[in-house]
């Protein structure tokens, strides 16, 4: 609990620092005239709109909040719909806000399955937005093997994002002119990861069932 509080406090401090940076940016930009500071620090035109949600059953939001701040500071409009978001709510809000990208966060093991549920429902609902997967328990392997097969297409890929610092690069690549090349690379990478996973599973099963044959083959 204490670690949680410390992280929450450092998150608040980070947000304050970033807000000061944005304000200072405008100060420098406006020639140092404080009275010229616009009332709203963010410009009206956004690079894109991103929905952020922690999935159903999960209360962890520190990482999601950091990603939201980082994207916000890079001129993306972020709709953060909070924690414990049901699949229905995520789909509903993605439609309502007409977002370009959907980001899911999850830190507990059951969230991994919940992300698969969301991917399946996005597919059923005919959604077209790329899906970003993040949070400490998520991984490239899980995204490639479990989530991607339920939603990934060249138009709307499913991408695992390791940390907040990668989020801007990923989002700008998905909304940029070279999206096709970027997504094709990811697709190839995920195919390799899935293949590796299948081979590992096959080898493990073989070792369990025929340990002697595997031993002889390896020599």
Residues that bind ligand B12 (CB under 6 A): 1, 3-4, 7-8, 57-64, 66-67, 103-105, 107-109, 132, 134-137, 161, 163-164, 167
Identify which of residues 72 and 135 has a Cβ nearer to ligand B12 in the complex.
135
Handedness of CA 30, 32, 33, 34 (dihedral sign): positive
Closest separation between CB of residue 155 and ligand B12, Å?
19
Region class of 68: left (phi > 0), else alpha (psi between -120 and 50), else beta: alpha
Rg (CA), the chain: 21
Closest separation between CB of residue 159 and ligand B12, Å?
8
Residues 6+ apart with CB under 8 A from 79: 49, 50, 51, 52, 93, 97, 99
Residues 6+ apart with CB under 8 A from 2: none
Closest separation between CB of residue 66 and ligand B12, Å?
4
Identify which of residues 73 and 104 has a Cβ nearer to ligand B12 in the complex.
104
Identify which of residues 58 and 100 has a Cβ nearer to ligand B12 in the complex.
58
Handedness of CA 8, 4, 87, 187 (dihedral sign): positive
Identify which of residues 94 and 107 has a Cβ nearer to ligand B12 in the complex.
107
Closest separation between CB of residue 126 and ligand B12, Å?
21
Give the residue ranges of DSSP H helices in the chain.
2-29, 62-73, 87-96, 109-124, 140-142, 164-175, 179-209, 211-218
For residue 103, give both structure tokens: 């980001």
Question: Where in the sequence numbering do the catalytic residues fall?
Answer: 58, 60, 111
Closest separation between CB of residue 76 and ligand B12, Å?
12
Tell me how far apart the 2 most distant CA atoms of the chain are, in Å.
Answer: 80
- Nearest residue to ligand B12 on Cβ basis: 63
Identify which of residues 108 and 214 has a Cβ nearer to ligand B12 in the complex.
108
């Amino acid at each position: 609990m204490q670690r949680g509080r410390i992280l929450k406090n450092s998150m608040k401090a980070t947000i304050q620092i970033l807000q000061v940076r944005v304000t200072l940016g405008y100060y420098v930009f406006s020639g140092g005239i404080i009275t010229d500071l616009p009332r709203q620090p963010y410009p009206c035109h956004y690079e894109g709109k991103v929905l952020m949600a922690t999935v159903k059953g999960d209360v962890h939001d520190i990482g999601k909040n950091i990603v939201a701040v980082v994207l916000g500071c890079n001129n993306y409009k972020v709709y953060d719909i909070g924690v414990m978001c049901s699949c229905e709510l995520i789909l509903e809000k993605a439609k309502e806000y007409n977002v370009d990208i959907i980001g899911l966060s999850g830190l507990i093991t059951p969230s991994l399955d919940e992300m698969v549920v969301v991917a399946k429902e996005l597919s059923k609902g005919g959604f077209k937005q790329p899906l970003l997967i993040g949070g400490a328990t998520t991984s490239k392997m899980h995204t490639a093997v479990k989530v991607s097969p339920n939603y990934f297409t060249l138009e709307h890929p499913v991408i695992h994002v390791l940390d907040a610092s990668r989020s801007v690069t990923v989002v700008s690549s998905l909304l940029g002119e070279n999206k096709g090349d970027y997504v094709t690379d990811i697709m190839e990478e995920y195919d390799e990861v899935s293949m590796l996973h299948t081979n590992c599973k096959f080898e493990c099963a073989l070792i369990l069932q025929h340990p002697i044959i595997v031993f002889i083959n390896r020599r």
